[in-house]
Amino acid sequence: MFFYAFFGALLIGAAFCIWRISVADFRRRIIPDAYLFPLMLIGLIITHFFPWICTTAESVAGAVLGYALAAIIGIIFERIATDKTNTPIGMGDIKLLAVAGLWLGTTGLAIALVFACIFGMIWGHQHKQKFIPFAPFLFAGGFLSFFTILFLL
């Protein structure tokens, strides 16, 4: 009984962190570490004690892949950007992809990125904005990825 209550409390804490990160990214274009690091810790605990989607090894591989992929994209954008003060991907986005990889593993991260890019592209096209907050779309893609892996794979 305590086991399920602990699991539920972790999920509630993760949902709170996700909500705060999404709001901050929409409003201020920043992903606060104060919510990102607890989300990472909760992801580590859940993937270790409740391996419902991936094992701990797959989770760590997903985190490394997410961080490396986002860092490479960030370096490329930084090199080709004409305005060095306003790069399209920041360190918060890089850490966020590592956290997504930690929660979903490598397969789940790939599925989440596809969904997130599609959602972000649709939102950016509809709102005709230059800035697209990636965090809310990555979380939506992560939820869809979770359910895709859980029920279809």
pLDDT in the model for residue 88: 74
Alpha carbons within 13 angstroms on the beta-carbon side of residue 110 total: 5
CA nearest neighbour of 58 among 47, 69, 43, 42: 47
pLDDT in the model for residue 80: 82
**What is the chain's Cα-based Rg?**
16
pLDDT means over runs of 10, the chain (153 residues)? 87 96 93 95 91 88 94 86 71 93 94 94 88 92 91 77
Is the overall model pTM greater than 0.85, yes or no? Answer: yes
Q: Where in the chain are the domains? A: 2-152
pLDDT in the model for residue 40: 95
CA distance 40 to 23: 18
pLDDT in the model for residue 100: 95
8 A C-beta contact, residue 45 and residue 14: no
8 A C-beta contact, residue 46 and residue 99: no
CA nearest neighbour of 111 among 54, 51, 73: 54
